[in-house]
């Protein structure tokens, strides 16, 4: 009986360890995002009032909001310096909070869409992910 209990404890311990590691990665990523947000806010060219950001859907045409969202998207690696989407990075970042690989692929296909400008692309990406429950990037 003791070997069965020990085996069960080892399996449970390994599972808990994996869950803790995944949670730690997400916490580190969230801390990094806060740092990147602060960096974008500290630059007058990419500063946007928090009220504008919290009501993103109502402010998608605001140039400061667009500049801020592009800044964050670029700094986190979702878009390249030229504004193009980095699909592999988007997929890996979404997979941090979405475990179903089919859903990750669907979200990347649905949300990573090039718009009229890099700023509009960034706004659409963040809003689409948020709408689909991937809120660790931003909550609007």
DSSP assignments along the chain, one per residue: -HHHHHHHHHHHHHHHHHHHHHHHHHHHHHHHHHHHHHHHHHSTTT---HHHHHTGGGGTT-HHHHHHHHHHHHHHTSB-TTS-B-HHHHHHHHTTT---HHHHHHHHHHH----SSHHHHHHHHHHHHHHTT--SS---
Domains of the chain, residue spans: 2-131
Per residue in 61-81, pLDDT (tens digit) is 999 999 999 999 999 999 999
Confidence of residue 17 (pLDDT cuts 50, 70, 90): very low
Q: Taking the model in full, what pTM does it have?
A: 0.78
How high is the pLDDT of residue 45?
97
Bridge partners of residue 79, in order along the sequence = 85
How high is the pLDDT of residue 1?
55
Confidence of residue 137 (pLDDT cuts 50, 70, 90): low
Average pLDDT, the chain: 84
Per residue in 72-120, pLDDT (tens digit) is 999 999 999 999 999 999 999 999 889 999 999 999 999 999 999 999 9
CA quadruple 127, 69, 107, 26: dihedral sign: negative
* Fold classification of 2-131 (topology level): Recoverin; domain 1 (1.10.238)
């Amino acid at each position: 009986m003791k070997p069965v209990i020990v085996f069960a404890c080892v399996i449970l311990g390994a599972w808990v360890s994996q869950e803790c590691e995944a949670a730690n990665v997400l916490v580190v990523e969230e801390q990094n995002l806060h740092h990147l947000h602060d960096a974008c806010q500290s630059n007058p060219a990419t500063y946007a009032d928090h009220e504008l950001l919290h009501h993103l859907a109502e402010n998608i045409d605001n140039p400061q909001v667009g500049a801020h969202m592009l800044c964050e998207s670029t700094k986190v690696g979702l878009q390249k310096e030229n504004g193009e989407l980095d699909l592999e990075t988007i997929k890996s970042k979404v997979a941090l909070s979405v475990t179903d690989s089919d859903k990750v692929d669907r979200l990347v296909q649905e949300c990573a869409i090039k718009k009229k400008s890099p700023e509009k692309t960034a706004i659409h990406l963040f809003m689409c992910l948020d709408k689909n429950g991937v809120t660790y990037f931003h909550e609007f």
